[in-house]
Protein backbone atom coordinates (compact mmCIF):
# COMPACT_ATOMS: atom_id res chain seq x y z
CA UNK A 1 0.00 0.00 0.00
CA UNK A 2 1.38 3.38 -1.06
CA UNK A 3 1.89 5.82 1.80
CA UNK A 4 0.62 9.40 1.60
CA UNK A 5 -2.19 8.41 -0.77
CA UNK A 6 -5.91 9.13 -0.72
CA UNK A 7 -7.95 6.37 -2.36
CA UNK A 8 -11.46 7.37 -3.54
CA UNK A 9 -13.28 4.04 -3.28
CA UNK A 10 -16.68 3.22 -4.78
CA UNK A 11 -18.91 0.87 -2.77
CA UNK A 12 -22.12 -1.01 -3.72
CA UNK A 13 -25.39 0.92 -4.12
CA UNK A 14 -27.40 -2.05 -2.90
CA UNK A 15 -26.17 -5.45 -4.02
CA UNK A 16 -23.03 -6.38 -2.07
CA UNK A 17 -21.96 -8.57 -4.97
CA UNK A 18 -21.06 -5.38 -6.81
CA UNK A 19 -18.13 -4.69 -4.46
CA UNK A 20 -15.06 -5.02 -6.66
CA UNK A 21 -12.12 -7.09 -5.33
CA UNK A 22 -9.70 -4.17 -5.64
CA UNK A 23 -11.93 -2.04 -3.39
CA UNK A 24 -11.89 -4.76 -0.72
CA UNK A 25 -8.11 -5.05 -0.95
CA UNK A 26 -7.59 -1.29 -0.71
CA UNK A 27 -9.90 -0.88 2.27
CA UNK A 28 -8.28 -3.82 4.05
CA UNK A 29 -4.79 -2.38 3.69
CA UNK A 30 -5.09 1.41 4.09
CA UNK A 31 -4.32 2.88 7.51
CA UNK A 32 -7.70 4.57 7.94
CA UNK A 33 -11.06 4.92 6.17
CA UNK A 34 -12.92 8.24 6.02
CA UNK A 35 -16.62 7.40 5.85
CA UNK A 36 -19.78 9.48 5.38
CA UNK A 37 -21.57 7.55 8.14
CA UNK A 38 -19.30 5.33 10.22
CA UNK A 39 -22.17 3.26 11.63
CA UNK A 40 -23.60 2.61 8.17
CA UNK A 41 -20.21 1.76 6.69
CA UNK A 42 -19.33 -0.52 9.62
CA UNK A 43 -21.92 -3.01 8.37
CA UNK A 44 -20.35 -3.06 4.91
CA UNK A 45 -16.86 -3.50 6.32
CA UNK A 46 -17.97 -6.29 8.63
CA UNK A 47 -19.41 -8.17 5.65
CA UNK A 48 -16.05 -8.10 3.88
CA UNK A 49 -14.00 -8.70 7.06
CA UNK A 50 -12.39 -5.27 6.86
CA UNK A 51 -11.06 -4.16 10.25
CA UNK A 52 -9.45 -0.86 9.23
CA UNK A 53 -10.27 2.01 11.64
CA UNK A 54 -13.02 4.43 10.59
CA UNK A 55 -13.20 8.23 10.92
CA UNK A 56 -16.13 10.44 9.98
CA UNK A 57 -16.10 12.67 6.91
CA UNK A 58 -19.44 14.12 5.76
CA UNK A 59 -21.15 17.29 4.50
CA UNK A 60 -20.93 18.94 7.91
CA UNK A 61 -17.25 18.23 8.47
CA UNK A 62 -15.55 21.53 9.25
CA UNK A 63 -12.23 22.73 7.86
CA UNK A 64 -10.34 21.77 11.00
CA UNK A 65 -11.35 18.14 10.53
CA UNK A 66 -10.41 18.30 6.86
CA UNK A 67 -6.97 19.62 7.78
CA UNK A 68 -6.62 16.91 10.44
CA UNK A 69 -7.26 14.23 7.80
CA UNK A 70 -4.80 15.86 5.41
CA UNK A 71 -2.21 15.99 8.18
CA UNK A 72 -2.59 12.26 8.78
CA UNK A 73 -1.92 11.52 5.12
CA UNK A 74 1.05 13.91 4.99
CA UNK A 75 2.33 12.21 8.11
CA UNK A 76 2.68 8.99 6.15
CA UNK A 77 -0.70 7.29 6.37
CA UNK A 78 -2.76 5.98 3.47
CA UNK A 79 -6.51 6.73 3.54
CA UNK A 80 -9.60 5.34 1.84
CA UNK A 81 -12.57 7.66 1.22
CA UNK A 82 -16.03 6.09 0.94
CA UNK A 83 -19.61 7.37 0.96
CA UNK A 84 -22.73 5.57 2.17
CA UNK A 85 -23.15 4.00 -1.27
CA UNK A 86 -21.77 4.35 -4.78
CA UNK A 87 -18.94 6.57 -5.97
CA UNK A 88 -17.83 9.32 -3.56
CA UNK A 89 -18.24 12.95 -4.76
CA UNK A 90 -21.21 12.05 -7.03
CA UNK A 91 -23.82 13.91 -4.92
CA UNK A 92 -21.87 12.73 -1.88
CA UNK A 93 -19.22 14.30 0.37
CA UNK A 94 -15.57 14.31 -0.61
CA UNK A 95 -14.90 17.34 -2.80
CA UNK A 96 -13.17 19.44 -0.15
CA UNK A 97 -10.97 16.61 1.03
CA UNK A 98 -9.92 15.59 -2.49
CA UNK A 99 -9.23 19.19 -3.47
CA UNK A 100 -7.11 19.83 -0.38
CA UNK A 101 -5.20 16.61 -0.99
CA UNK A 102 -4.35 17.63 -4.54
CA UNK A 103 -3.37 21.12 -3.41
CA UNK A 104 -0.93 19.53 -0.98
CA UNK A 105 0.57 17.31 -3.66
CA UNK A 106 -0.95 14.16 -2.17
CA UNK A 107 -1.57 11.37 -4.64
CA UNK A 108 -5.31 10.76 -5.20
CA UNK A 109 -6.22 7.36 -6.67
CA UNK A 110 -9.74 6.44 -7.88
CA UNK A 111 -11.00 2.89 -7.26
CA UNK A 112 -13.98 2.63 -9.66
CA UNK A 113 -17.17 0.74 -8.97
CA UNK A 114 -20.90 1.25 -8.65
CA UNK A 115 -22.53 4.60 -9.50
CA UNK A 116 -26.34 4.92 -9.48
CA UNK A 117 -26.33 7.63 -12.16
CA UNK A 118 -24.36 5.60 -14.69
CA UNK A 119 -26.15 2.34 -13.87
CA UNK A 120 -29.54 3.98 -14.39
CA UNK A 121 -28.52 5.67 -17.64
CA UNK A 122 -27.10 2.44 -19.06
CA UNK A 123 -30.47 0.69 -18.72
CA UNK A 124 -32.75 3.64 -19.54
CA UNK A 125 -32.84 3.47 -23.32
CA UNK A 126 -32.39 7.25 -23.43
CA UNK A 127 -29.57 8.86 -25.46
CA UNK A 128 -26.35 8.38 -23.53
CA UNK A 129 -23.80 9.97 -25.86
CA UNK A 130 -24.33 13.35 -24.16
CA UNK A 131 -25.90 13.86 -20.75
CA UNK A 132 -25.98 16.32 -17.86
CA UNK A 133 -26.01 15.22 -14.23
CA UNK A 134 -28.02 17.72 -12.18
CA UNK A 135 -27.90 15.95 -8.80
CA UNK A 136 -30.62 16.65 -6.23
CA UNK A 137 -33.17 19.38 -6.92
CA UNK A 138 -34.25 21.85 -4.21
CA UNK A 139 -36.93 20.48 -1.85
CA UNK A 140 -39.44 23.31 -2.32
CA UNK A 141 -41.53 23.51 -5.48
CA UNK A 142 -40.75 27.16 -6.29
CA UNK A 143 -37.01 26.65 -5.99
CA UNK A 144 -37.25 23.40 -7.90
CA UNK A 145 -39.07 25.08 -10.79
CA UNK A 146 -36.46 27.85 -10.85
CA UNK A 147 -33.73 25.22 -11.17
CA UNK A 148 -35.59 23.34 -13.93
CA UNK A 149 -36.57 26.35 -16.03
CA UNK A 150 -33.09 27.01 -17.52
CA UNK A 151 -32.94 23.35 -18.61
CA UNK A 152 -36.02 23.49 -20.86
CA UNK A 153 -33.98 23.85 -24.07
CA UNK A 154 -31.20 21.46 -23.00
CA UNK A 155 -30.76 18.79 -25.70
CA UNK A 156 -28.72 16.41 -23.54
CA UNK A 157 -30.34 13.71 -21.40
CA UNK A 158 -30.89 15.17 -17.92
CA UNK A 159 -30.20 13.03 -14.84
CA UNK A 160 -31.48 13.83 -11.35
CA UNK A 161 -31.40 12.17 -7.93
CA UNK A 162 -34.55 12.54 -5.87
CA UNK A 163 -35.79 11.63 -2.39
CA UNK A 164 -38.75 9.22 -2.24
CA UNK A 165 -41.01 11.61 -0.31
CA UNK A 166 -40.55 14.26 -3.01
CA UNK A 167 -40.70 12.13 -6.14
CA UNK A 168 -44.38 12.73 -6.90
CA UNK A 169 -44.14 16.51 -6.56
CA UNK A 170 -40.89 16.48 -8.52
CA UNK A 171 -42.47 14.66 -11.48
CA UNK A 172 -45.41 17.09 -11.39
CA UNK A 173 -43.07 20.08 -11.59
CA UNK A 174 -41.06 18.46 -14.36
CA UNK A 175 -44.22 17.87 -16.39
CA UNK A 176 -45.14 21.52 -15.91
CA UNK A 177 -41.74 22.81 -17.04
CA UNK A 178 -40.69 20.28 -19.70
CA UNK A 179 -44.18 19.36 -20.90
CA UNK A 180 -46.34 16.40 -19.91
CA UNK A 181 -45.35 14.47 -23.05
CA UNK A 182 -41.56 14.71 -22.55
CA UNK A 183 -40.03 11.22 -22.41
CA UNK A 184 -38.49 10.18 -19.10
CA UNK A 185 -37.36 7.14 -17.14
CA UNK A 186 -37.60 6.49 -13.41
CA UNK A 187 -35.05 4.07 -11.95
CA UNK A 188 -35.75 3.03 -8.36
CA UNK A 189 -33.81 0.81 -5.96
CA UNK A 190 -31.15 -0.09 -8.54
CA UNK A 191 -29.48 -3.48 -7.83
CA UNK A 192 -31.85 -4.10 -4.91
CA UNK A 193 -34.70 -6.59 -4.50
CA UNK A 194 -37.45 -4.24 -5.70
CA UNK A 195 -35.52 -2.62 -8.54
CA UNK A 196 -37.86 -0.79 -10.94
CA UNK A 197 -36.95 0.88 -14.22
CA UNK A 198 -40.01 2.49 -15.78
CA UNK A 199 -40.19 4.63 -18.90
CA UNK A 200 -42.90 6.81 -20.36
CA UNK A 201 -43.97 10.42 -20.55
CA UNK A 202 -43.56 12.59 -17.46
CA UNK A 203 -47.32 12.55 -17.05
CA UNK A 204 -47.43 8.75 -17.26
CA UNK A 205 -44.62 8.40 -14.73
CA UNK A 206 -46.38 10.81 -12.40
CA UNK A 207 -49.57 8.77 -12.60
CA UNK A 208 -47.63 5.54 -12.07
CA UNK A 209 -45.98 6.84 -8.90
CA UNK A 210 -49.24 8.34 -7.62
CA UNK A 211 -51.10 5.05 -8.07
CA UNK A 212 -48.60 2.83 -6.21
CA UNK A 213 -47.24 3.85 -2.77
CA UNK A 214 -44.39 1.34 -3.19
CA UNK A 215 -43.00 3.52 -5.99
CA UNK A 216 -42.50 6.29 -3.45
CA UNK A 217 -39.93 4.30 -1.49
CA UNK A 218 -36.18 3.84 -1.88
CA UNK A 219 -33.43 5.55 -3.87
CA UNK A 220 -34.55 7.37 -7.03
CA UNK A 221 -32.89 8.39 -10.29
CA UNK A 222 -35.01 10.41 -12.73
CA UNK A 223 -33.81 10.76 -16.32
CA UNK A 224 -35.47 13.18 -18.73
CA UNK A 225 -34.83 13.13 -22.45
CA UNK A 226 -33.40 16.35 -23.81
CA UNK A 227 -35.44 18.75 -25.90
CA UNK A 228 -36.18 17.09 -29.25
CA UNK A 229 -34.26 18.56 -32.14
CA UNK A 230 -36.40 20.07 -34.92
CA UNK A 231 -36.95 17.90 -37.93
CA UNK A 232 -34.33 18.42 -40.62
CA UNK A 233 -36.92 19.34 -43.20
CA UNK A 234 -38.65 21.86 -40.98
CA UNK A 235 -38.67 25.28 -42.65
CA UNK A 236 -37.96 28.60 -41.00
CA UNK A 237 -40.72 30.79 -39.71
CA UNK A 238 -41.63 33.91 -41.69
CA UNK A 239 -39.57 36.27 -39.54
CA UNK A 240 -36.42 34.15 -39.78
CA UNK A 241 -36.84 33.90 -43.56
CA UNK A 242 -37.22 37.69 -43.80
CA UNK A 243 -34.04 38.27 -41.78
CA UNK A 244 -32.04 35.75 -43.77
CA UNK A 245 -33.27 37.17 -47.07
CA UNK A 246 -32.05 40.63 -46.07
CA UNK A 247 -28.67 39.34 -44.84
CA UNK A 248 -28.03 37.29 -47.97
CA UNK A 249 -28.25 40.41 -50.13
CA UNK A 250 -24.91 41.64 -48.82
CA UNK A 251 -23.29 38.67 -47.06
CA UNK A 252 -22.04 35.22 -47.95
CA UNK A 253 -24.07 32.19 -46.90
CA UNK A 254 -21.63 31.51 -44.07
CA UNK A 255 -21.67 35.09 -42.80
CA UNK A 256 -25.43 35.40 -43.11
CA UNK A 257 -25.95 32.12 -41.24
CA UNK A 258 -23.66 33.21 -38.42
CA UNK A 259 -25.30 36.61 -38.00
CA UNK A 260 -28.77 35.14 -38.50
CA UNK A 261 -28.15 32.65 -35.70
CA UNK A 262 -27.15 35.49 -33.36
CA UNK A 263 -30.28 37.49 -34.26
CA UNK A 264 -32.89 34.71 -34.27
CA UNK A 265 -31.42 32.25 -31.74
CA UNK A 266 -31.80 29.46 -34.30
CA UNK A 267 -29.09 26.96 -35.14
CA UNK A 268 -26.48 28.22 -37.58
CA UNK A 269 -26.55 24.85 -39.36
CA UNK A 270 -30.29 25.11 -40.04
CA UNK A 271 -29.96 28.65 -41.37
CA UNK A 272 -26.97 27.66 -43.50
CA UNK A 273 -28.93 24.76 -45.05
CA UNK A 274 -31.93 27.00 -45.72
CA UNK A 275 -29.70 29.53 -47.47
CA UNK A 276 -28.14 26.83 -49.63
CA UNK A 277 -31.59 25.54 -50.55
CA UNK A 278 -32.57 28.99 -51.81
CA UNK A 279 -29.68 28.94 -54.27
CA UNK A 280 -30.63 25.54 -55.70
| Helix runs in the chain, H state only | 21-29, 38-47, 63-74, 95-103, 116-122, 141-148, 167-178, 202-211, 238-248, 253-264, 268-279
Evaluate whether 41 touches 23 at the Cβ level (below 8 Å).
no
Per-block mean pLDDT, blocks of 10 residues, the chain (280 long): 89 96 97 95 96 92 92 96 95 91 97 97 95 96 96 96 96 96 97 96 97 93 88 70 91 92 89 82
Fold agreement between 5-114 and 117-224 = no
> Which CATH number is associated with domain 5-114?
3.40.1010.10
Q: What is the DSSP letter of 37?
A: S
Domain 117-224 has CATH 3.30.950.10: yes
d(CA 150, CA 200): 23
**Measuring CA to CA, which residue among 13, 6, 3, 45 is closest to residue 28?**
45
Evaluate whether 113 touches 18 at the Cβ level (below 8 Å).
yes
pLDDT recorded at residue 62: 87
pTM above 0.85, yes or no: no
Count other Cβ atoms within 10 Å, centred on residue 42: 14
pLDDT recorded at residue 276: 86
User: Domain limits of the chain?
Assistant: 5-114, 117-224, 238-279
Count other Cβ atoms within 10 Å, centred on residue 181: 11
pLDDT recorded at residue 234: 53
d(CA 81, CA 89): 10
d(CA 262, CA 36): 47
pLDDT recorded at residue 231: 47
pLDDT recorded at residue 75: 95
d(CA 37, CA 21): 22
Classify residue 31 as exposed, middle or buried by CB count within 10 Å of its CB (0-12, 13-18, 19+): middle
Amino acid sequence: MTEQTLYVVATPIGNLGDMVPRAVEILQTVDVIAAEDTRHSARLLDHFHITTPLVAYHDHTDERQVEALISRIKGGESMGLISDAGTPLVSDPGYRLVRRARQEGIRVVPVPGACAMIAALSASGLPSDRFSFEGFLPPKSGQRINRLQPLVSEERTLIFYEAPHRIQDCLTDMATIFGADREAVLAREITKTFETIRGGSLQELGEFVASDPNQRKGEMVVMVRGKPKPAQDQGLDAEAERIMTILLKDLSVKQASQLGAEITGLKKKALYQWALDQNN
